[in-house]
Structure 1
Amino acid sequence: MFRIQSLKDVLSFGVGTITTIPAVQIFCVYTGVAIFFAFLYQITFFAACLALAMKHEAAGRNSMFFVESVPAEKRKSLSTFQRIFNMGSVPDHSSSNDVKQPLTSRFFGEWYAPVLMNPFVRGIAMVWFVIYLLGASYGCSRIKEGLEPVNLLVEDSYAIPHYRLLEKYFWKYGQQVQIVINNAPDLRNHTSRDRVHAMVLDFATSKHAIGMESVQFWLFEMERYYQKELQVQIIDSSFYGLLQHFLASKTNNPLAEDIYWGPMPDDDNGTMVQSFRFIVGMKDLVTTMDQTDATMSFRDVAARWPEFNVTTFMPIWMFTDQYIIIIPNTVQNIIIALLVMIVIAVLFIPQPMCSLWVALACASIDFGVIGYMTLWGVNLDAISMITIIMSIGFSVDYSAHIAYGYVVSTRDTATGRVQEALSALGWPLFQGAMSTIIAVSVLADIPAYMIVTFFKTQMKIAAITSSPLHLQTVAPIRASSPISFPHRFEYTDDSPTVHNRSKSSMKSEHLD
């Protein structure tokens, strides 16, 4: 099973590399490579050291200094130095190979499994599972996307009050978006200028624009200057000359920064406007959803004027672009990763229906992680996306182990097979999850959103996958359903102790 987990982990992070978010790509690349080399280390150097250690243990040698251990009855005649360095266990070759089951295994096998397989208890478990899914659905319906700028700061940063005041007073009304016309028409043509007017009106009347009164556009100022102040009409053929005269004024000179000049195609010595920009005031940008909606709204307007090759820009666009792609990337990665995990399960676990249940367990766990992390105040951003990718590995681990334990069981009844699987795997898997929870708990009080987000999502992943609801309730009940495994898997083994072999192998394989 160690091979399965390592392959699963590498492929899980490999799926993460196809995302369009560079931070996620980089993390998944180096994590996947690290896991691959860790696997090579385990099957080469570590396995060799383990074999040597077992050889010395069988020979009754001290585990630190490799000298021969002295039996307890002979230690009285030894010096203090020899007693210290010759301590160690001495193998008892006369004892049987039977190993007494620990209390935890007996608890899961002799008490928990029979209670769990009671029809009434199974019904209660399924009701709780439905409640779990409803809670996750509610959380997913309230999901918030994106890594907000303020969350990149530590909690005691002096910049946080600045961002909070910005959200309170300025995001509601008054921000500005720059709109660039990369392919300016020939403005000597009156019809072209009318088209530009119509485009500006389209932007100014969009959902998150304040209106025409918020537009800052050199063309409007030029027309106002000539038609209202000088009370003269703009001559089409002299438009560019009139524009240069207008911009030469000290008052209007700053507007020259909004215009890019280029050569005129029909006059080698003349110049014309090749591209320009104007500014529109914005409103209602308080939440990340509003900011994302504003980005999409202005880009939709720009797409309606393809002849001008319009580009919209605002500094916050760098963040809203992340908000826009985070959900599609997350869904894409989860679906692809689940498909990959199903293929792995089909290849390594000898029952087709087992793969289906493993996939369903993974999907329900990921669904719960996303939903409940939202209720815990975690946004769906690049950080939580990484941990969601990791959650697929967790969920496959536990679900596949329980399903595998059920499949290789030699018992004839569903209750017996669940009993044997939980007896061998229930406690070790629970220990693995609890060790993860304890390990990430040290991150809980670090005053940084990114680290706390990692802690919350990892805690939620470990809590859901290791909870009785999934690890020792839903997974065994699914495995023992009438449609799960119609035929018992049997080892091809001439040994008369298939049962003992199966159980001991299950106990050892959780150590992956």
Structure 2
Amino acid sequence: MLSSWRRTREDQHVKERVAAVFSDCMLPFTASTALHVVTFGIGASPFTNIEAVRLFCRNACISVLFNYLYILTFYGSNLVFAGYLENNYRHSLFCRRVPKPELQQQKPAWYRFLMYTHYNEEATEAGPLHAYESHLLVAFMKRYYCDWITNTYVKPFVVLFYLVYVSFALMGYLQVSEGSDLSNVVATETSTIAYTRAQQRYFSSYSPVIGFYIYESIEYWNTSVQEDLLEYTKGFERISWFESYLNYLHGLNITTSLSRSNFTERLRSGFLRLPRYVHFSDDIIFAKRADGEFDVVASRMFLVAKTTENKREEMSILLDTLRKLSLTSRVKFIIFNPSFVYMDRYASSVGAPLKNSCIAAIFLLFFSTFLAADPLVNAWLTVTVASVEFGLVGFMTLWRVELDCVSVLCLIYGVNYAVDSSAPLVSAFALGRESTRTRWVKLALERHGVPALQSYLCYGAALLPLAAVPSNLTRTLFRCLFLTAIITAFHCLAILPVLLTFLPPSKKKRRERKNAAENREEIECVEMVDSTRVVDQITTV
């Protein structure tokens, strides 16, 4: 909107200037707001099974709607106010009338530096150069960058650089891993980080200690139940009262298939009284029955699994196997470790948002087909979004960012950001009907390149404070959003301008069709004027 405002003439009436700005910007801004609301609305819907993601998307929807109303009302009013200040030659910040140049020469240097404006007399004497075109970035984009990026000798290097980009993105894409590390959800300099680093360095070949909890009374003295329990814990390093008790009975040459009363009595009076087994007393809960005998109503064991380098995958398989077994086994047990909370969290926080992001991307591209003035605009937007998302996933991995809840949310946001940034450039090029491809690429860059560049610079500057926050989640957010801005800027300011100069849509065919239509209309007009008989023939045809 600021760029469109600066392109209007200062001698126009304020109402005409504001009308030109809103007619130029509000339609794409409304479409962009609708796309954001739809995509974040899908994340806030019951499709998402994570409350944190739903809250984030719900607040994002409210923020986008509030921003739309703010632009439509308060920001537009500020433009009107600024227009009247310009018409009256008043300073935009201090609201004081700026003196004419001959009076300014009598003021101090700091006053002349702050209180400066262009008078109509100066503009007439200076020539036809518009104030907007004299802006540093606009002049750089128009005089240097547009000619450089469309140069025949520069294009091959840009295409080569894009192939390098795709190669590195593919290398990172093949190394994508899900984030289930506990250290990623806490502050960087804490005891938890020190513990996880030590555990990964010295004891990474062992899994976390898994609690195996039997939460109802079972027939421990039954031989088949004993075999089932030993089978369930097979392959683990075990800290088990049950296995130690069976070995204790074997050492006394006593069979393990005792009666209920003998099994429980020897456990209470003999096994748990020995000094080397007394620590198992905390792992067994006894309850007195109505007949006066004791029974084991609940117990626990501890298991540790030997793992290899693929620790995360092995733990996931192990968890799935034991949990399925706990549902079908006649021995009712549960397994637990505090790290399982984060493993479950990441397992659900990656799958569901990825599914929702795919739904949002498909709906967004389908919705944009009704908003795009040319079908090729939608095709180019689809290709651009796919390229940006592919590069974002790859370079995130190369920057040691794992696929977790935060990074997946950034991927969802990256779809909207890529469409917002590339749609004006592609639309301005596709709707052009005259001149050559290169000419329309230059015009599109001159019109939309500077606002996009200013947006990228402001966006990057706003993200820099996030890099200093001592939190892995915040750093993940910074890296993902920063990569989103860099990759999108690379596509909009370099890749798209080069590819559009030699890929569809074609300007030549449209120009030929238009010229043929104009010639046909001229011939018909001449014939209709020359003879009534020819008019009758044309009417018959």
TM bucket by the smaller chain? 0.7 to 0.9
Q: How far has the Cα of 1:53 moved from its partner? A: 3.7
State the SS of the aligned residue for 1:311: strand
Aligned partners of 1:24 and 1:240: how far apart in 2?
A: 54
C-alpha offsets along residues 420-477 of structure 1, whole Å, 9 cap, x if unaligned?
211211222122112222222234344443333332222221111112xx11232234
Q: How far has the Cα of 1:21 moved from its partner? A: 4.1
| Residue 321 (structure 1) aligned with residue 344 (structure 2) | yes
| Residue 143 (structure 1) aligned with residue 155 (structure 2) | no
State the SS of the aligned residue for 1:192: helix
User: Please, which of 72, 76, 92 is the counterpart of residue 43 of structure 1?
Assistant: 72
Structure-1 residue corresponding to 2:30? 3
Does the 8 Å contact 2:214/2:332 carry over to 1? yes
Alpha carbons of structure 1 residues 75 and 123: separation in structure 2 relative to 1, 3 Å: closer
C-alpha offsets along residues 219-247 of structure 1, whole Å, 9 cap, x if unaligned?
32333333432635533xx3256225513
The residue identity in structure 2 corresponding to 1:239 is: R
Aligned partners of 2:221 and 2:191: how far apart in 1?
A: 52
Structure-1 residue corresponding to 2:25? none
C-alpha offsets along residues 231-269 of structure 1, whole Å, 9 cap, x if unaligned?
35533xx325622551354345654544567899xx898
Structure-1 residue corresponding to 2:5? none
Alpha carbons of structure 1 residues 352 and 311: separation in structure 2 relative to 1, 3 Å: farther
The residue identity in structure 1 corresponding to 2:403 is: L
Aligned partners of 2:213 and 2:500: how far apart in 1?
A: 60
Structure-2 residue corresponding to 1:417? 440
Alpha carbons of structure 1 residues 384 and 269: separation in structure 2 relative to 1, 3 Å: same
Aligned partners of 1:90 and 1:158: how far apart in 2?
A: 62
User: Please, which of 198, 201, 205 is the counterpart of residue 165 of structure 1?
Assistant: 198
Alpha carbons of structure 1 residues 12 and 420: separation in structure 2 relative to 1, 3 Å: same
Does the 8 Å contact 1:291/1:320 carry over to 2? no
Alpha carbons of structure 1 residues 321 and 421: separation in structure 2 relative to 1, 3 Å: same
Aligned partners of 2:342 and 2:49: how far apart in 1?
A: 14
User: Please, which of 308, 324, 346 is the counterpart of residue 369 of structure 2?
Assistant: 346
Does the 8 Å contact 2:261/2:293 carry over to 1? no
Does the 8 Å contact 1:71/1:90 carry over to 2? no
User: Please, which of 473, 478, 494 is the counterpart of residue 473 of structure 1?
Assistant: 494
C-alpha offsets along residues 273-297 of structure 1, whole Å, 9 cap, x if unaligned?
5654322222337x7x513421322
User: Please, which of 62, 75, 82 is the counterpart of residue 33 of structure 1?
Assistant: 62
State the SS of the aligned residue for 1:281: strand
Does the 8 Å contact 2:173/2:393 carry over to 1? yes
Alpha carbons of structure 1 residues 304 and 67: separation in structure 2 relative to 1, 3 Å: closer
Does the 8 Å contact 1:478/1:484 carry over to 2? no
Tell me which moved more, 48-57 or 65-74: 65-74
Does the 8 Å contact 1:369/1:460 carry over to 2? yes
Aligned partners of 1:138 and 1:88: how far apart in 2?
A: 54
| Residue 218 (structure 1) aligned with residue 247 (structure 2) | no
Alpha carbons of structure 1 residues 335 and 223: separation in structure 2 relative to 1, 3 Å: same
Tell me which moved more, 28-37 or 176-185: 176-185
Structure-2 residue corresponding to 1:498? none
The residue identity in structure 2 corresponding to 1:127 is: L
Tell me which moved more, 423-432 or 402-411: 402-411
Structure-1 residue corresponding to 2:424? 401
Q: How far has the Cα of 1:342 moved from its partner? A: 0.8
Structure-2 residue corresponding to 1:390? 413
Structure-2 residue corresponding to 1:501? none
Does the 8 Å contact 2:176/2:402 carry over to 1? yes
The residue identity in structure 2 corresponding to 1:300 is: T
Structure-2 residue corresponding to 1:242? 263
| RMSD between superposed Cα atoms in Å | 4.0
Q: How far has the Cα of 1:158 moved from its partner? A: 5.2
Does the 8 Å contact 2:264/2:294 carry over to 1? no
Does the 8 Å contact 1:247/1:255 carry over to 2? no
Aligned partners of 2:273 and 2:448: how far apart in 1?
A: 81
Structure-1 residue corresponding to 2:355? 332
User: Please, which of 370, 374, 386 is the counterpart of residue 363 of structure 1?
Assistant: 386
Alpha carbons of structure 1 residues 408 and 275: separation in structure 2 relative to 1, 3 Å: farther
Does the 8 Å contact 1:357/1:478 carry over to 2? no
The residue identity in structure 2 corresponding to 1:391 is: G
Aligned partners of 1:488 and 1:56: how far apart in 2?
A: 45
Aligned counterparts, 1:110-129, within 5 A: 112-113=145-146, 116-117=149-150, 121-129=154-162
Tell me which moved more, 478-487 or 413-422: 478-487
Q: How far has the Cα of 1:120 moved from its partner? A: 6.0
Q: How far has the Cα of 1:188 moved from its partner? A: 5.5
Q: How far has the Cα of 1:368 moved from its partner? A: 0.9
Does the 8 Å contact 1:406/1:417 carry over to 2? yes
State the SS of the aligned residue for 1:145: coil
Aligned partners of 2:261 and 2:510: how far apart in 1?
A: 86
Higher RCO (CA < 8 A, seq sep 6+): 1
Aligned partners of 1:121 and 1:69: how far apart in 2?
A: 46
Q: How far has the Cα of 1:75 moved from its partner? A: 8.9
Aligned partners of 1:474 and 1:480: how far apart in 2?
A: 10
Does the 8 Å contact 1:217/1:278 carry over to 2? yes
Gaps of at least 5 residues in structure 2 are 1-27, 512-541
Alpha carbons of structure 1 residues 244 and 295: separation in structure 2 relative to 1, 3 Å: farther
C-alpha offsets along residues 176-213 of structure 1, whole Å, 9 cap, x if unaligned?
2112345665445433333333223xxx32xxx3xxxx
Aligned counterparts, 1:69-88, within 5 A: none
Pairs aligned (count): 467
Structure 1 length-normalised TM: 0.76
State the SS of the aligned residue for 1:442: helix
State the SS of the aligned residue for 2:66: helix
C-alpha offsets along residues 300-335 of structure 1, whole Å, 9 cap, x if unaligned?
144246134543212221222234345434532431
Tell me which moved more, 89-98 or 275-284: 89-98
Does the 8 Å contact 2:264/2:296 carry over to 1? no
